[in-house]
Amino acid sequence: MFTLSSFFASNLDTFLNDEFDMSPVIVGVTMLIGSLCYGITSPIWGYIADRWKKNFLMEIGTLGEFVAMVLIGPALLLKSWFGIEKQTLPLLYAAICVKGSFTGAALMPTFTDMVDAASELKVQESLLAQYGMVSGLWNTAFSLGDISGPLLGGLLVGKFGFENTAAILGLCCLGLMVIKISERIIRRCCCKPTIVESNSEYESLLPNAPDV
C-alpha cells in the first residue's frame, strides 16, 4: 500500500500533463482531491476499526484500491470492453476520490493488526518492547514503499505505460485482499482461536518501580 501511494504521488502529475495538458495549479488541485477524501474518511474508518473486525476492513480497503487503480488509467482491458477511447475528467476524479477514500481502510488497521500478531506470538516480554518492535517494522515498511513506489513505478511506466502500471498495482491490491481472506479462512478452519488477554489500553508501558 505504501508503494502504491508513493507511485501515485510521483507519477500522476506526468499522466495529467500528457493526457489533459493541465496547468500546475490544476494538477495540484486534482491531487488535493484525493488527500481531502483521505482526510475526511480516515476518522470514519478509525471509528469503524475500533468496533469491527480489522480483517474485513483491510479487505474492503484493498478492494477499493483495486477498483480505483483500474479506473485511474483506465486499464486497457476496460477501454476495449467498454469502448473508452481515452480517460475523461469525471472518471478520473471519481477514481481519485475512491482511492483517497479507501486508503484509510486499507492502512489504518495494519498497525493494530501487527500488535495483535506480536502479542499472539509473544515475541517480546514487555509491552513497551513489543510496541517498539512493531513501530520499527511498520516504519520500515513505510520507508521501503516510499522508495520502491517511484523507482519501480517509473521503470514500469517507461515499459508498460501509466495505465497498465496502475492496473498492475491494482492487481497487487487484489492479491493482498485474497491473501487476507485466505488467512481468515485458514485460521477459522484449521487453527484454534487464540485469545490474547491484554488490557493494553490501561497498562503502563513502563515497568513498575521496585519497592524501596
pLDDT value at residue 87: 82
**182 within domain boundaries:** yes
Is 114 a member of any domain? Answer: no
Rounded Cα–Cα distance for residues 94 and 108 (Å)? 22
User: What is the model's pTM?
Assistant: 0.80
Tell me which residue of 87, 97, 94 sits closest to 19, measured CA to CA.
87
Q: Which three cell numbers stand for residue 20?
A: 489533459
Asked if residue 74 has a cis previous peptide bond (ω within 30° of 0), the answer is yes
- The predicted pLDDT at position 171 comes to 92
Confirm whether 67 is domain-assigned: yes
Q: Residue 66 is which amino acid?
A: F
Domain count, the chain: 1
Q: Does residue 71 lie within any of the structural domains?
A: yes
Q: What is the pLDDT of residues 128-148, one digit of tens each?
A: 788 888 888 989 988 898 888
- Is the residue at 12 inside a domain? yes
Range list of H helices, the chain: 2-20, 24-51, 54-72, 76-82, 89-121, 127-160, 162-190
Residue 71: closest CA among 55, 90, 58, 54: 90
Q: What is the CA radius of gyration of the chain?
A: 20
The CATH number of whichever domain residue 99 belongs to comes to 1.20.1250
Burial of 99 (0-12, 13-18, 19+ CB in 10 A): buried
Q: How far is CA 65 from the centre of its chain?
A: 7
List the domain range (segments joined by +) for residue 25: 2-106+148-190
Residues of the chain with pLDDT under 50: 195-199, 201-202, 212
Is residue 161 domain-resident? yes
Tell me if 59 is assigned to some domain.
Answer: yes
User: Using CA atoms, how far apart are residues 100 and 12, in angstroms rounded to an integer?
Assistant: 14
Q: Is residue 197 part of a domain?
A: no
Sign of the CA dihedral 181, 185, 190, 193?
positive
Quote the pLDDT of residue 193. Answer: 54
